[in-house]
């Protein structure tokens, strides 16, 4: 008898009638290679599904990276300006753009800086509006605020967790200059519709691809579809150097302007021509990035394979529904593997009890963003600032506040469960089975969840 048959037989033998019904209808995932731990919940004194689970180390470190950093340290050329053509930052920019198939890349000190550089290079500032998502890192919104433009929040989709194109279109005003869609968890948002809306209303598109390195959509790489794409290389990301960022584009003039902005307004010819902060990436960060590029694609593929495996195991299971991917999605970065938790299929147990029970089985899941950024105090703070009071009418600011009712974002914040994926999705398929088995063991015992 195959292991899966055994597991399924054992599983069905221990579950309630309603579960048997679901299994018979094909709605229960086939359990992976269990070690028989389908009995009492570990949180109630049973044996855990897995003991002392060790995931692949993140951030990724190898000898090539150490050697490149060593070499850069010894060179004493630590700033890109000391070695503008042959330094690690310049070589990384060239190599990253080549891998993605785009005209060029400008490195910065963070993803937030990359986004703000594009905002500035596009001339977006006070009295302008940029539509973005409340379900993101604060860096997205900060990149608009530091230019004293108005970040207008569009709600998200409950199944894909991505910005909702319909709400984007509703939020366009005569002052909207750009849309900043975010590819959350590293998977493409509904870019086809966003681009169509942008074209219709003559708006720029700045893709926040901070989590979405190498993701493919409709035959193109994420970040190359809008006017510019911005990446983060902060430690947790799937390509990482501590803090770092990058802008890619096929628009050479925009790339040139971005270089100038991130170089405190000084262009490649050495003339100080505009306003810009100093956002330069340093050579040690460049060394870490350059040295990991040759193996990054392999890790990307492993994450996609493991994500597809998890999703196949959860197919039809009503309790946890993996992030919906839009048609045209060929691959994702899988920075995070996320699922919508459906409490009603876990005997009404709140998400935190489910997470606690799964953790006791040896698998760490967690909520992601607990509060949409429309609920953070910055929305009140900007209303007190002279520049906002001067540059935006009181009616506009009142409308801005009134529009911060975003129920889908609130719903996703309250119900999302994630497996952090940068490291864990590099593990073996049997490790993915452990994840599924822990979830399913808790599901089998859902009638006990409310007592923990
Ligand atoms: C979606 C998104 N946008 C922007 C940022 C900001 O990037 P950084 O932290 O490198 O400034 C992040 C980082 O977490 C992010 O996840």
- For residue 83, the model assigns a pLDDT of 85
Distance 378 CA to ligand 1 centre (A): 17
pLDDT digits (tens, 9 = 90+) for 263-313: 999 999 999 999 999 999 999 999 999 999 999 999 999 999 999 999 999
User: CA-CA-CA-CA torsion for 153, 409, 155, 372, nearest 10 degrees?
Assistant: 10
Distance 51 CA to ligand 1 centre (A): 33
Instruction: Please state the domain extents for the chain.
Output: 3-56+296-369+413-451, 63-293
Task: List, chain by chain if needed, residues with CB within 6 Å of any ligand 1 atom.
Answer: 110-112, 136-137, 139-140, 182, 208, 210-211, 232, 234, 245
Q: How far apart are CA 349 and CA 358, in angstroms?
A: 13
For residue 6, is pLDDT > 60?
no
For residue 341, is pLDDT > 90?
yes
What atom in ligand 1 is closest to the CA of residue 236?
A: 14
- For residue 38, the model assigns a pLDDT of 61
Q: How far apart are CA 228 and CA 261, in angstroms?
A: 15
- For residue 24, the model assigns a pLDDT of 41
Please state whether the peptide bond connecting residue 59 to the residue before it is cis, i.e. omega within 30 degrees of 0. Answer: yes
State which of 112, 143, 146, 277 you would mutate to test the pocket of ligand 1, scoring each by most atoms of that ligand within 8 A of its C-beta: 112
Residues in a beta bridge with 336: 420
Q: Is 105:248 a contact under the CB 8 Å cutoff? A: yes
State which of 232, 240, 247 you would mutate to test the pocket of ligand 1, scoring each by most atoms of that ligand within 8 A of its C-beta: 232
Q: How far apart are CA 436 and CA 34, in angstroms?
A: 10
Among candidate residues 40, 31, 39, 37, the one with its CA nearest the CA of residue 3: 31
Position with higher pLDDT, 10 vs 321: 321
Residue 409 in tokens: 């974002």
What atom in ligand 1 is closest to the CA of residue 211?
A: 16
pLDDT digits (tens, 9 = 90+) for 43-94: 999 999 999 999 999 999 999 999 999 999 999 999 999 888 899 999 999 9
For residue 30, is pLDDT > 90?
no
What atom in ligand 1 is closest to the CA of residue 234?
A: 10
What atom in ligand 1 is closest to the CA of residue 232?
A: 10
Distance 213 CA to ligand 1 centre (A): 12
State which of 132, 134, 139 you would mutate to test the pocket of ligand 1, scoring each by most atoms of that ligand within 8 A of its C-beta: 139
Distance 391 CA to ligand 1 centre (A): 27
What atom in ligand 1 is closest to the CA of residue 233?
A: 10
Among candidate residues 110, 130, 121, 87, the one with its CA nearest the CA of residue 251: 121
pLDDT digits (tens, 9 = 90+) for 198-255: 999 999 999 999 999 999 999 999 999 999 999 999 999 999 999 999 999 999 999 9
Task: CATH number for 3-56+296-369+413-451: choose from 3.30.1300.10, 3.40.430.10, 3.90.1150.10, 3.40.50.1980.
Answer: 3.90.1150.10
What atom in ligand 1 is closest to the CA of residue 112?
A: 11
CB count in 10 Å sphere of residue 393:
10
Q: What is the 3-state secondary structure (H, E, C) of the chain?
A: CCHHHHHHHHHHHCCCHHHHHHHHCCCCCCCCCCCCCCCCCHHHCCCCCCCCCCCCCCCCCCHHHHHHHHHHHHHCCCEHHHCCCCCHHHHHHHHHHHHHCCCEEEEECCHHHHHHHHHHHCCCCCCCEEEECCCCCHHHHHHHHCCCCEEEECCECCCCCCECHHHHHHCCCCCEEEEECECHHHCCCCHHHHHHHHHHHCCEEEEECCCCCCCEECCEECCCCCCEEEEECECCCCCCCECCEEEEECCHHHHHHHHHHHECCECCCCCECCCCCECCCEHHHHHHHHHHHHHHHHHHHHHHHHHHHHHHHCCCCCCEEECCCCCCEEECCCCEEEEEECHHHHCCCCHHHHHHHHHHCCCCCECCCCCCHHHCCHHHHHHHCHHHHHHCCHHHHHHHHHCCCCHHHHHHHHHEEEEECCCHHHCCHHHHHHHHHHHHHHHHCHHHHHHC
Distance 245 CA to ligand 1 centre (A): 9
Euclidean distance between the first and final Cα of the chain, in Å? 36
Instruction: Decide if domain 63-293 falls under CATH 3.30.365.10.
Output: no
Position with higher pLDDT, 415 vs 4: 415
Q: Which residues does 83 contact at the CB level (< 8 Å), separation at least 6?
A: 75, 77, 90, 283
Apex 136 CA angle, 133 and 142, nearest 5: 85
CA quadruple 117, 300, 304, 438: dihedral sign? negative
| Average pLDDT for 254-262 | 98
Distance 445 CA to ligand 1 centre (A): 38
- For residue 84, the model assigns a pLDDT of 86
Q: Is 426:302 a contact under the CB 8 Å cutoff? A: yes
* Residue nearest (by alpha carbon) to ligand 1 atom 10: 111
For residue 29, is pLDDT > 70?
no
- The pLDDT confidence band at residue 39, using thresholds 50, 70 and 90, is confident
What percent of the chain has a predicted confidence (pLDDT) above 90?
90
Average pLDDT, the chain: 92
- For residue 375, the model assigns a pLDDT of 98
Residue 379 in tokens: 């929305």
What percent of the chain has a predicted confidence (pLDDT) above 70?
92
pLDDT digits (tens, 9 = 90+) for 11-25: 322 333 344 344 444
- For residue 86, the model assigns a pLDDT of 93
pLDDT digits (tens, 9 = 90+) for 371-380: 999 999 999 9
């Amino acid at each position: 008898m195959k292991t899966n048959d055994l597991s399924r037989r054992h599983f069905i033998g221990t579950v309630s009638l309603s579960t048997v019904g679901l299994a018979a209808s094909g709605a229960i995932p086939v359990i992976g290679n269990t070690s028989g731990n389908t009995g009492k919940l570990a949180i109630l004194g049973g044996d855990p599904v897995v003991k002392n689970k060790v995931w692949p180390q993140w951030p990724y470190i190898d000898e090539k990276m150490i050697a490149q950093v060593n070499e850069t340290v010894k060179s004493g050329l630590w700033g890109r300006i000391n070695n503008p053509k042959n330094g690690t930052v310049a070589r990384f920019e060239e190599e990253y753009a080549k891998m993605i198939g785009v005209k060029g890349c400008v490195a910065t000190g963070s993803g937030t800086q990359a986004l703000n550089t594009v905002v500035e290079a596009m001339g977006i500032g006070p009295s302008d509006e940029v539509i973005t998502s409340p379900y993101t890192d604060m860096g997205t919104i900060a990149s608009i605020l530091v230019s004293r433009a108005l970040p207008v929040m569009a709600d998200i989709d409950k199944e894909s967790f991505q910005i909702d194109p319909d709400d984007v279109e509703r939020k366009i005003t005569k002052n909207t200059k750009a849309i900043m869609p975010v590819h959350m968890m590293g998977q493409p948002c509904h870019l086809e519709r966003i681009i169509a809306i942008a074209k219709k209303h003559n708006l720029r598109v700045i893709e926040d691809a901070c989590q979405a390195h190498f993701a493919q959509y409709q035959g193109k790489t994420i970040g190359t579809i809008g006017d510019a794409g911005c990446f983060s290389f902060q430690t947790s990301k799937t390509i990482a150097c501590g803090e770092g960022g990058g802008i890619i584009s096929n628009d050479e003039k925009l790339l040139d302007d971005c270089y100038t902005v991130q170089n405190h307004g000084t262009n490649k010819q050495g003339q100080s021509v505009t306003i810009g902060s100093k956002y330069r990436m340093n050579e040690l960060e460049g060394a870490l990035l350059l040295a990991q590029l040759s193996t990054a694609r392999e890790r990307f593929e492993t994450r996609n394979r493991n994500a597809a495996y998890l999703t196949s195991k959860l197919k039809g299971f009503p309790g946890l529904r993996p992030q919906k991917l839009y048609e045209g999605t060929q691959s994702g970065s899988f920075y995070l593997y996320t699922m919508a938790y459906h409490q009603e299929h876990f005997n009404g147990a709140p998400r935190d009890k489910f997470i606690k029970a799964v953790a006791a089985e040896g698998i760490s899941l967690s909520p992601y963003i607990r509060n949409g950024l429309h609920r953070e105090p910055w929305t009140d703070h900007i209303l007190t600032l002279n520049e906002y009071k001067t540059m935006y009418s009181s009616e506009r600011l009142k409308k801005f506040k009134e529009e911060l009712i975003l129920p889908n974002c609130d719903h996703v914040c309250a119900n999302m469960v994630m497996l952090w994926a940068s490291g864990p999705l590099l593990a073996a398929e049997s490790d993915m089975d452990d994840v599924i088995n822990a979830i399913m063991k808790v599901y089998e015992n859902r009638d006990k969840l409310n007592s923990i």
